[in-house]
Structure 1
Amino acid sequence: MDNLSFVGVRFGRLKVNRIATKEEDSHSNGVHVFCECDCGITILIRLASLRHGYTKSCGCLKRDMQTKYRSASGDPACWGRIYRVWRGMMSRCYRTTDKDYPEYGGRGINVCRRWHEFVNFEADIGNRPDGTSLDRINVHGDYEPQNCRWATPVIQQRNRRSNRLFEFNGEKLTFAELCQRHSIAESTLRNRLDKGMNLSDALMFPVRKRRVKHARKNHGSHHQTRSS
């Protein structure tokens, strides 16, 4: 795409006015353009930064968000954990340069329209308990209030797409949940299934108790000498 075709194109709050000449541009890292921000300031910016979404304003956007979005403590939201969670969620769903985009936006995972505003996300999701992170209950579903929760690493591990689900007594459980529910070691259940037992028998068959071997006492050194 020719660089001149970007003249007049808008990127966030910035509108490209013209391509910088060699005399005006002392940088050696690509083409630079003059952009006018919605706040009225004109800045010189690298064109690639606009195209990849790294720059969206002259800096006023961040200042405005710090003023608009504040946490319960009164600090700017961009200083808080929940804002960073929201920003990460939006990035992996809509920013094609995000390393996690293929597993989210690339798979068609979206963020509900309401949550495109941070204040709505914060109001719906609530405070983040220590040791948790954002988790989608249905790993194939979107980010939306009824499908999201704060979850511990253990819960998230069991909720991975790669987990195989077993249906037993009307419930769908992961392998680890089955073992925990029926108080059976994972290695024991895995061995039984590998030997061809069906799931019901493998779960219900009594676990053989290991016999404890007691060491024999050596009385040889304690034999009493029979008196003559």
Structure 2
Amino acid sequence: MAKKLRNPKKENLSLWNSYHSMKKRCLNPNCKRYKDYGGRGIEICEEWLKGFDEFADWAKVNGYRNGLTIERKDVNGNYEPNNCMWITRQQQAFNKRDSIFVTYRGQTKDLMVWCNEMGLMYDTIHNRITSGWSPEKAFESLANEKSFAQLCREHGLKPATVRDRVYKLGWDLEIALNTPSAGLGANQQTYMRRTL
């Protein structure tokens, strides 16, 4: 005789679906998403593998409510109590392996979240952070209201030139913006800094 669940499926359908979807992603090689979870070594803790009740008990005392999804704080970590939380689908869209996490004033958040909260242009801030600016400088610079393209135009440069200087040549964005172009085209001499 099957043991009686403390958290019956019919009363916890959304949570039941989250639990079994998590198991499928991590344990079933035939699942489309297995390669991104179980195939990468993402595991489920032993406690939750004991059964749905153990998982549901944890969920209900750790912020679960209908409409939320389970999320791993460390996207490379396992499904376990100290690495999981319940968030909205919109929040989950920010937490991907290609997300950039930035620590600013003692808090670490996805760069997209910081930009949304602070009303900043994501492309501009992303370019600054990936060019080596500190979070303080990137977030607090007076030019935050301008897009990357606007900044390039103000400096009389094509965005492609500045982007090449930053990503291909490793220049700091400020130097890339403030170095005039020689206008020599694709031979890359246009990107070279002149030393005085």
**Distance (whole Å) between structure 2 residues aligned to residue 208 and residue 69 of structure 1:** 54
Q: Which has the greater radius of gyration?
A: 1
Q: Which has the higher contact order (CA 8 A, sep 6+)?
A: 2
Q: Gapped runs of 5+ residues in structure 2?
A: 147-196
Cα deviation code 1:63-105 (max 9, x no counterpart): 93xx62253xxx5459722122111111111111111111111
Map of 2:181 onto structure 1: none
How many pairs does the alignment contain? 141
Which of 43, 46, 56 lines up with 1:122 in the alignment? 56
What is the deviation of 1:167?
Answer: 4.2
Residues 44 and 78 in structure 2, CA contact (< 8 A), matched pair in contact too: yes
2:119 paired with 1:186: no
2:34 paired with 1:97: no
What is the deviation of 1:115?
Answer: 0.4
**Distance (whole Å) between structure 2 residues aligned to residue 162 and residue 77 of structure 1:** 37
Cα deviation code 1:154-188 (max 9, x no counterpart): 22122211112234455443222332454423255
- 3-state SS of paired residue (1:121): helix
What is the deviation of 1:206?
Answer: 2.2
The percentage of counterpart residues that share the same residue type is 26
- 3-state SS of paired residue (2:29): coil
Cα deviation code 1:119-174 (max 9, x no counterpart): 11111111732331111111111111111111112221222111122344554432
- 3-state SS of paired residue (1:68): coil
Map of 1:112 onto structure 2: 45
**Distance (whole Å) between structure 1 residues aligned to residue 125 and residue 72 of structure 2:** 28
Q: 1:168 to 1:208 in 2, by over 3 A?
A: closer
Which of 16, 27, 31 lines up with 1:83 in the alignment? 16
Q: 1:187 to 1:167 in 2, by over 3 A?
A: same
**Distance (whole Å) between structure 1 residues aligned to residue 64 and residue 144 of structure 2:** 44
Which of 132, 141, 146 lines up with 2:82 in the alignment? 146
Residues 92 and 101 in structure 1, CA contact (< 8 A), matched pair in contact too: yes
Q: 1:83 to 1:197 in 2, by over 3 A?
A: closer
Aligned-pair Cα RMSD in Å: 3.2
Q: TM-score, normalised by structure 2?
A: 0.59
For residues 171-182 of structure 1, what are the structure 2 equivalents within 5 Å? 171-182=107-118
Q: Which has the higher helix share?
A: 2
Q: Which has the higher strand share?
A: 1
- 3-state SS of paired residue (1:134): strand
**Distance (whole Å) between structure 1 residues aligned to residue 39 and residue 45 of structure 2:** 16
Q: Which amino acid aligns with 1:198?
A: W
2:96 paired with 1:163: no
- 3-state SS of paired residue (2:85): strand
Q: TM-score, normalised by structure 1?
A: 0.51
Question: Once structures 1 and 2 are overlaid, which stretch shifts more, 164-173 or 123-132?
Answer: 164-173
Q: Gapped runs of 5+ residues in structure 1?
A: 1-62, 211-228
**Distance (whole Å) between structure 2 residues aligned to residue 201 and residue 101 of structure 1:** 40
Q: Which amino acid aligns with 1:97?
A: N
Q: Which amino acid aligns with 2:80?
A: E
